[in-house]
């Protein structure tokens, strides 16, 4: 097919227009106009993406690479353009970003209706879609980095949306700075790539790697590890995950869109996108798998004891992203992206449902003051139930298919892979426990609200509609099956390991084990949080050290603060500030002052504040300039050698 | 073509004539300010003639003018513009009206003297960029220091120990003392070569006929004078006090471009051999300077000082790019010089607006300004992000070119160290944003405190930007976006002017490329 009309640049540019209009004029427009603008442009973007998907279904050959992309930077031998490219991986990402993105925009119209700065919120949200679509459409690393940092900016702005709250400002700043640590790795990775390949274009690097099959390890490992640093920042993995729980300071729909469904998956996308590099470095893959498994388990344990409904979901997101990393680390990229997609459905759903609960309770986020909402908020309850079953991995919900695909792929990877599989399985148990815990605490039993006079109310339909759609996707989104999904992505990320070895019986057996584990988790939660709600406190009291460690999230924030932040500030303030500036720099200034012995008399004159003395200085200065200009003449007149005759010597 | 032969002289003369006229005007109301605004806008329009008629691909100087001035010693009025100086001249033109607007409400006394000196300063700075005769250059160089020192002394904020006079003295000592050897070095060169002409001197030095020992000292005199003016780490002792004291219109132009331009043109350009020997030191100082400045910016309690250390950090990127001697790095360094002029200028202006309204630069007294001045807050955040190198804003392109070329072509270790600066810059910028603009309104911002003594009688308190202030800042921020999205418009004209400096071989440069890399280079160009 020749030059298909895909209008790729419009996919990011439309939300950018929405951002510009609302950002510049929004404060003067009525809310209805603001929300119309904010909805229309993302919807149009989604329309373009759906249109592209339809063409692909009709047989459009991928990848489509935008020809004649405008040039961005040309300097020396470097050349970077705004090249966009659409392939299967990008298409999946775009469908999720614009699709789920639009639903969350819609939900926000209801959720944010009472807020000041309504226009500002939607402007930022549109800005986010611009950068996120740039991130996945980029045809080279540098343009991807534009999206990469850009979504970080949108995230910063939205986390700090309630900017008068100090905690919100702190959280936004923390998110940006921690992400910058990751971006530092990304940048060094790009420098290494430039040194190795002389280009940052995905296509050219891929072709180059294909042309040199012997190239392995060494610098490729270094590149991959640098990229992993970037990915751990954006996707909130150990050791850079610390910003994500704090990011819950932002409005809940933001948590759903940016900090669950889309932005935080950018690291996973990046690894899948650059898998050709990772495939050449077993070390890097092992690191990715290790980080993923460790993060998945670690975050799930913290999720067990959190009392803020959004924090539970935040740790759950970190944990699920760990699964995706694990998938990438065992080279099951399509399984990882599959989980990315289903997770986008059910985690967006869970966050939005949590938002509905918070909205219905007038801002209450503490699970200990919820309860009994099943009857008061039936739609929220049932949709959230779909999400809980999906994330816990029950057949035939979406999460079952994708999580299984990852665990199965891990199991096939030798001894280390079996260990990863086991960690993943234990994590699945924990996931099931903390999700059903949340479910019981929020929706079952009696209401524990402090304010009994204002019973919870169900949310308006503009919020419930996205919930219902996402619930349907969380139920049915996995039925496409990993085989068809992997087959679709194979031209980009290659065949997964599952396709090479293994058997149907093994896969079925592992699935059964996984579902049994999920059921066990449900059973435990049922025992502890429905039938005998007093038990969890007793269990916690019996292991005080463990419990307090979990509640304080292993005290990692305190550790970083004490081991990194404080020392850096101390060194800056005392070593650089006092010794460097105070003694060395100032000292040298005083020595310089002493040389011309202007310190005494001169200083007092300068400080006299007398205009005449300033005028005197002015005159002196002017005289000096004159002197310089005339210097030659004076020298010349005396003939002290400053003549042309000397030139030859 | 008509104006091309005299345009540079026009740009030089207009502010000077304007300054003379202003001194003759009666001291009445805003008359001097209006006159200065008119003159600076006119000058700016004149500078725009240069890029409009500049031939991008052409090497060598354009808009050249030459006339004999003195026969013995031979000093010529020789001026011209190339890719290296083109945008810097325009930048000076652009920042002049911005400086006038920034001074509009803060300079209330002796405004005639202020604006006259301000305009003299414009001429001096343009003169530095266009002079192709080194004695002429030196005259402008010294001339650029004097109005600066006087204005700092007369219009200082008197908030540091010793006040404006002290800061002015320090500035004066640093820059005057360091440029005295420069004069001696120039005279030595003249004695040897018999000319102050840039091209002649360059040619004479390139032949290698001059004795190496003295030449080394001569180049060092050049280097020290410029390094102090930039300032390079270690020579920055004047910077923080000057920033704290200087009137906004002066502070925003005092650092950076004059020194950086001179490093490229007159240190690397004239003394490639000696510059190569200095390169490892300069690169080390630059990389450390990036971190040193940013770390100190992180712990400042006064926003002028914070800006000073941030500027030290951000200027160090330029030095790093210059002494890598790669074309890409020099592109990045020059672009970053322009960027710093715009971004640093805008930050200076905005902090000046805050200072004018609240009368303090103590960050701790601020808080929640965004609620009262949302436009200022938005523009400040965008400018801060440009400083922190956010892509699609101008700072990113310059930094990326400098860092990537340093990494691939010069030294990996220093490049990685310098890259860590992006973490720190985000940290100090966002910390400043949060403490000043976000959070609850502090007592001072909420207007519960009476205005400080120095500010009594000022229209202080709750005011967002006034019309003119908004206009100049929006223009600057728009320029940051334009430079970030379409940097080629600027880079294209710059590059031919940087080729000479890029031909210097760097001793730190990594040796020949690895076989894999060569193979990689051959295999490029394939589509997937």
**Could B191 and A646 be called an inter-chain contact, meaning their C-beta atoms sit closer than 8 Å?**
yes
Q: Is the pLDDT of residue B515 over 70?
A: no
Provide the token pair at A342: 């289903």
Instruction: Count other C-beta atoms under 10 Å from residue A488's C-beta.
Output: 18
Distance CA A243, CA B493 (A): 43
Over range A569-597, report the average pLDDT. Answer: 76
Return the pLDDT at A596: 52
Q: Point out the residue among A573, A577, A628 whose CB comes nearest to the CB of B138.
A: A628
Which of A76, A561, A574 best probes binding to B when mutated, by most B CB atoms within 10 angstroms?
Answer: A76
Whole-number pLDDT of residue B523: 33
> Can you spell out the DSSP letters for A471-483?
HHHHHHTTTT-HH
The distance of A188 to chain B (nearest Cα, Å) reads 7
* Chain A (190-209) residues lying within 8 Å, Cβ to Cβ, of chain B: 190-192, 194-199, 202-204, 206-208
pLDDT tens for B174-206 read 888 888 889 999 999 999 998 999 999 999 998
SS3 of B161, please? coil
Of A195, A573, A621, the CB nearest to B408: A195
Cα–Cα dist A132/B119, whole Å: 47
Does A647 have pLDDT greater than 80? no
- Report the residue of chain A nearest B170, measured CA to CA: A589
* Cβ–Cβ contact B97 with A under 8 A: no
Task: Compute the mean pLDDT over every residue in chain B, rounded to the nearest whole number.
Answer: 87
Question: Is B332 in CB contact (< 8 Å) with chain A?
Answer: yes
**Mean of the per-residue pLDDT values for chain A?**
87
What pLDDT is recorded for position A109? 94
More confident call, B173 vs A69: A69
Averaged pLDDT, B367-393 = 93
User: Which of A19, A25, A75 would you mutate first to test chain B, the one with the most B CBs within 10 A?
Assistant: A75
Reduce the DSSP state of residue A306 to 3 states and report it: coil
Tell me, what's the pLDDT at A593? 60
Q: What would the mean pLDDT of A297-312 be, rounded to a whole number?
A: 94
Instruction: State whether residue B419 sits within 8 Å of chain A by CB.
Output: yes
Over residues B282-301, the mean pLDDT reads 95
Which of A610-624, B150-164, B413-427 bottoms out in mean pLDDT, i.e. has the lowest?
A: A610-624
- Name the minimum distance, in Å, from the CA of B377 to any CA of chain A: 12
Question: Are B173 and A153 a contacting pair at CB < 8 A?
Answer: no
Tell whether the model's pLDDT for residue A339 goes beyond 70: yes
| Mean pLDDT in residue range B313-326 | 95
pLDDT in tens, A543-554: 888 988 888 888
A298 confidence band (pLDDT: 50, 70, 90): very high
Interface of A with B in 459-518 (CB under 8 A): none
Contact A164 B371 (CB under 8 A): yes
Chain A residues with CB under 8 Å of B150 CB are: 614, 617-618, 621
Q: B199 in contact with A at a CB cutoff of 8 Å?
A: no
CA distance A183 to A141: 12
In this complex, do B516 and A585 lie within 8 Å of one another by their Cβ atoms?
Answer: no
State whether residue A620 sits within 8 Å of chain B by CB.
Answer: no
3-state secondary structure of B302: strand
Q: Is the pLDDT of residue A619 over 60?
A: no
Q: What is the pLDDT of residue A503?
A: 82
- Is the pLDDT at A10 greater than 50, yes or no? yes
Please check whether residue B434 touches A, CB under 8 A: yes
Mean pLDDT for B269-291 is 93
Chain B residues touching residue A580 (CB < 8 angstroms): 292, 296
pLDDT at A630: 52
Distances (CA, A) of B7 to A130, B60, B64, B258, B441: 44, 17, 9, 21, 51
Nearest CA in chain A to B474: A24
Contacts of B405 in chain A (CB under 8 A): 76
Nearest chain B alpha carbon to A618:
B150
Alpha helices in B299-373 (DSSP H): 303-322, 327-358, 369-372
pTM, 2 dp: 0.91
Distance from CA of B522 to the nearest CA of A (A): 9
Beta carbons of A290 and A151 less than 8 angstroms apart: no
pLDDT digit string (tens) for A41-89? 999 999 999 999 999 999 888 888 887 889 999 998 899 999 999 999 9
Average pLDDT, integer, range A497-514: 80
Kindly tell me if the per-residue pLDDT of A248 is higher than 90. yes
- B266 DSSP assignment: I
Lowest mean pLDDT among A293-307, A560-574, A577-591: A577-591
Per-residue pLDDT tens digits for A429-483: 999 999 999 999 999 888 888 766 677 788 899 999 999 999 999 999 889 888 8
Choose the mutation target among B214, B404, B413 for the interface with A, i.e. most A CBs under 10 Å. B404
Tell me the average pLDDT across B459-470: 71
What pLDDT digit, counting tens, does each position of B76-134 carry?
999 999 999 999 999 999 999 999 999 988 887 788 999 999 999 999 999 999 999 99
Q: Which two tokens stand for residue A341?
A: 């997609």
- To the nearest whole percent, how much of chain B has pLDDT over 90? 61
At A184 the pLDDT is 96
Question: Taking CB atoms and an 8 Å limit, are A72 and B72 in contact across chains?
Answer: no
pLDDT band at B237, cuts 50/70/90?
confident
Confidence at B28, pLDDT banded by 50, 70, 90? confident
Question: Residue A531: is its pLDDT beyond 50?
Answer: yes
pLDDT higher than threshold 60 for residue A637 = no
- Identify the CA nearest to A313 among candidates A236, A249, A260, A241: A260
Contact A163 B485 (CB under 8 A): no
The answer, yes or no, to whether residue A274 has pLDDT greater than 70, is yes
Q: Are A76 and B331 in contact (CB under 8 A)?
A: yes
A529, β-bridge pairs: none
Going by C-alpha positions, the residue among B9, B21, B160, B22 that lies closest to residue B103 is B22
Contact check, Cβ <8 Å, B237/A146: no
CA of residue A428 relative to chain centroid, distance? 23
The percentage of chain B sitting over the pLDDT mark of 70, rounded to a whole number, equals: 91
First-last CA distance in chain B: 49
Which residues are registered as beta bridge partners of B350? Answer: none
The pLDDT of residue B458 is above 80: no
pLDDT at B509: 56
CA-nearest residue of chain B to A74? Answer: B488
Using a CB–CB cutoff of 8 Å, tell me whether A600 touches chain B.
Answer: no
Which among B163, B327, B423 has the least Cβ separation from residue A76? Answer: B327
> How near does any CA of chain B get to the CA of A609, in Å?
8
Please give the ipTM for the structure prediction.
0.91
Lowest mean pLDDT among A328-342, A364-378, A465-479, A606-620: A606-620
Q: How large is the angle between the packed helices A461-476 and A398-411, nearest 10 degrees? A: 40
Q: Would you call A457 an interface residue with chain B, using a CB distance cutoff of 8 Å?
A: no
CB A356 within 8 A of CB A463: yes
What the block records as the tokens of A246 is: 């704090």
Query: Within an 8 Å CB–CB cutoff, is residue B327 touching chain A?
Result: yes
Once rounded to an integer, what is the mean pLDDT over residues B160-172? Answer: 74
A592 chain-B contacts, CB cut-off 8 A: 173-174, 177
In the numeric block, which tokens belong to residue A233? 């920042």
pLDDT band at B502 (very low <50, low <70, confident <90, very high): confident
Q: What is the total residue count of chain B?
A: 528
């Amino acid at each position: 097919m020749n030059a298909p009309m895909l209008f790729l640049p419009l996919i990011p540019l439309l939300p950018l227009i929405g951002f510009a209009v609302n950002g510049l004029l929004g404060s003067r427009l009525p809310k209805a106009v603001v929300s119309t603008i904010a909805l229309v442009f993302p919807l149009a973007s989604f329309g373009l993406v759906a249109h592209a998907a339809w063409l692909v279904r009709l047989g459009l050959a991928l990848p489509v690479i935008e020809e004649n992309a405008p040039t961005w930077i040309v300097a020396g031998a470097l050349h970077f353009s705004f090249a966009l490219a659409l392939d299967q991986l990008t298409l999946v990402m775009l469908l999720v970003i614009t699709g789920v993105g639009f639903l969350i925009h819609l939900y926000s119209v209801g959720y944010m209706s009472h807020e000041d700065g309504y226009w500002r919120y939607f402007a930022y949200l549109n800005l986010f879609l611009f950068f996120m679509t740039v991130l996945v459409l980029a045809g080279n690393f540098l343009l991807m980095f534009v999206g990469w940092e850009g979504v970080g900016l949108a995230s910063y702005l939205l986390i700090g949306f309630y900017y008068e709250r100090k905690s919100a400002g702190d959280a936004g700043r923390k998110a940006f700075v921690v992400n910058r640590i990751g971006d530092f790795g990304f940048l060094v990775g790009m420098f290494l790539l430039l040194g190795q390949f002389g280009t940052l274009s995905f296509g050219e690097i891929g072709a180059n790697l294909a042309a040199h099959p012997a190239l392995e390890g060494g610098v490729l490992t270094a590149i991959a590890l640098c990229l992993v640093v970037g990915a751990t920042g954006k996707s909130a993995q150990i050791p850079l995950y610390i910003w994500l729980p704090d990011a819950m300071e932002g409005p809940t729909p933001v948590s759903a869109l940016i900090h669950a469904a889309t932005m935080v998956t950018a690291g996973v996308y990046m690894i899948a996108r650059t898998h050709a590099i990772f495939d050449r470095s077993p070390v890097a893959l092992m690191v990715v798998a290790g980080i993923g498994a460790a993060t998945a388990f670690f975050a799930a344990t913290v999720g067990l004891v959190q009392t803020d409904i959004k924090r539970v979901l935040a740790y759950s997101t970190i944990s699920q992203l760990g699964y995706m990393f694990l998938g990438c680390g065992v080279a099951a990229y399509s399984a990882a992206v599959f989980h990315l997609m289903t997770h986008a459905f059910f985690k967006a759903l869970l966050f939005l449902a949590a938002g509905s609960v918070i909205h219905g309770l007038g801002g209450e986020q503490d699970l200990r003051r919820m309860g009994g909402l099943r009857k008061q908020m039936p739609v929220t309850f049932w949709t959230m139930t779909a999400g809980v079953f999906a994330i816990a991995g029950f057949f035939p919900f979406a999460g079952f298919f994708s999580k299984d695909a990852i665990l199965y792929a891990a199991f096939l990877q030798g001894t280390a892979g079996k260990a990863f599989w086991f960690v993943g399985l234990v994590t699945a148990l924990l996931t099931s426990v903390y999700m059903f815990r949340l479910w019981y605490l929020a929706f079952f039993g009696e209401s524990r609200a402090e304010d009994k006079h204002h019973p919870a109310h169900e949310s308006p339909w503009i919020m419930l509609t996205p919930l219902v759609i996402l619930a349907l996707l969380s139920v049915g989104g996995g039925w496409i099956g990993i085989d068809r999904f992997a087959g679709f992505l194979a031209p980009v990320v290659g065949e997964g390991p599952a396709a090479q070895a293994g058997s149907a019986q093994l896969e079925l057996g592992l699935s059964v084990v996984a579902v049994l584990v999920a059921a066990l988790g449900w059973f435990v939660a049922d025992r502890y949080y429905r039938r005998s709600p007093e038990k969890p406190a007793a269990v916690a009291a019996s292991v005080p050290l463990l419990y307090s460690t979990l509640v304080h999230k292993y005290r990692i924030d305190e550790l970083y603060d004490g081991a990194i932040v404080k020392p850096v500030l101390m060194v800056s303030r005392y070593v650089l500030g006092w010794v460097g500036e105070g003694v060395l720099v100032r000292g040298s200034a005083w020595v310089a002052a002493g040389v011309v012995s202007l310190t005494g008399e001169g200083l007092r004159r300068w400080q006299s504040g007398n205009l005449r003395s300033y005028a005197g200085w002015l005159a002196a200065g002017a005289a000096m300039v004159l002197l310089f200009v005339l210097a030659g003449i004076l020298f010349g007149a005396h003939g002290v050698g400053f003549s042309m005759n000397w030139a030859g010597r | 073509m008509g104006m091309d032969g005299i345009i540079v002289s026009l740009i030089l003369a207009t502010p000077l004539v304007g300054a003379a006229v202003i001194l003759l005007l009666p001291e009445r109301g805003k008359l001097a300010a209006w006159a200065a605004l008119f003159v600076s806008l006119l000058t700016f329009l004149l500078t725009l003639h240069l890029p409009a008629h500049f031939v991008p691909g052409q090497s060598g100087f354009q808009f050249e003018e030459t006339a004999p001035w003195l026969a013995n010693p031979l000093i010529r009025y020789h001026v011209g513009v190339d890719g290296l100086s083109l945008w810097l001249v325009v930048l000076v033109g652009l920042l002049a009206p911005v400086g006038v607007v920034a001074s509009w409400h803060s300079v209330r006394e002796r405004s005639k003297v202020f604006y006259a000196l301000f305009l003299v300063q414009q001429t001096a700075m343009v003169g530095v960029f266009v002079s192709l005769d080194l004695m002429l250059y030196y005259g402008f160089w010294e001339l650029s220091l004097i109005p600066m020192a006087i204005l700092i002394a007369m219009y200082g904020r008197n908030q540091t120990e010793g006040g404006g006079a002290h800061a002015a003295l320090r500035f004066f000592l640093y820059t005057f003392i360091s440029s005295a050897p420069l004069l001696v070095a120039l005279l030595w060169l003249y004695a040897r070569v018999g000319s102050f002409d840039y091209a002649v001197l360059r040619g004479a030095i390139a032949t290698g006929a001059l004795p190496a020992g003295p030449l080394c000292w001569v180049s060092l005199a050049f280097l020290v004078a410029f390094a102090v003016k930039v300032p390079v780490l270690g020579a920055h002792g004047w910077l923080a006090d000057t920033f704290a004291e200087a009137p906004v219109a002066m502070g925003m132009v005092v650092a950076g471009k004059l020194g950086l331009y001179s490093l490229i043109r007159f240190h690397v350009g004239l003394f490639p051999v000696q510059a190569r020997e200095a390169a490892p030191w300069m690169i080390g100082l630059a990389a450390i300077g990036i971190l040193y400045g940013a770390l100190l910016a992180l712990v400042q309690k006064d926003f002028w000082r914070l800006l000073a250390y941030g500027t030290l950090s951000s200027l160090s990127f330029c030095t790093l790019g210059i002494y890598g001697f790669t074309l890409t790095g020099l592109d990045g360094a020059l672009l970053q010089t322009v960027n710093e002029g715009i971004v640093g200028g805008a930050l200076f202006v905005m902090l000046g607006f805050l200072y004018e309204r609240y009368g303090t630069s103590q960050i701790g007294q601020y808080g929640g300004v965004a609620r009262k001045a949302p436009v200022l807050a938005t523009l400040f955040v965008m400018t801060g992000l440009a400083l922190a190198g956010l892509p699609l804003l101008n700072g990113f392109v310059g930094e990326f070119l400098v860092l990537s070329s340093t990494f691939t072509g010069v030294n990996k270790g220093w490049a990685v160290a310098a890259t860590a600066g992006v973490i720190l810059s985000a940290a100090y910028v966002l910390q400043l944003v949060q403490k000043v603009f976000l959070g609850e309104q502090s007592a001072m911002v909420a207007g519960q405190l009476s205005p400080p003594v120095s500010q009594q009688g000022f229209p202080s308190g709750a005011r967002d930007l006034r019309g003119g202030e908004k206009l100049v800042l929006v223009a600057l921020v728009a320029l940051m976006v334009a430079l970030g999205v379409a940097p080629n418009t600027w880079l294209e004209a710059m590059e031919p002017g940087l080729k000479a400096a890029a031909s210097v071989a760097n001793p730190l440069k990594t040796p020949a490329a690895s076989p894999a890399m060569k193979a990689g280079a051959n295999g490029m160009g394939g589509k997937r």
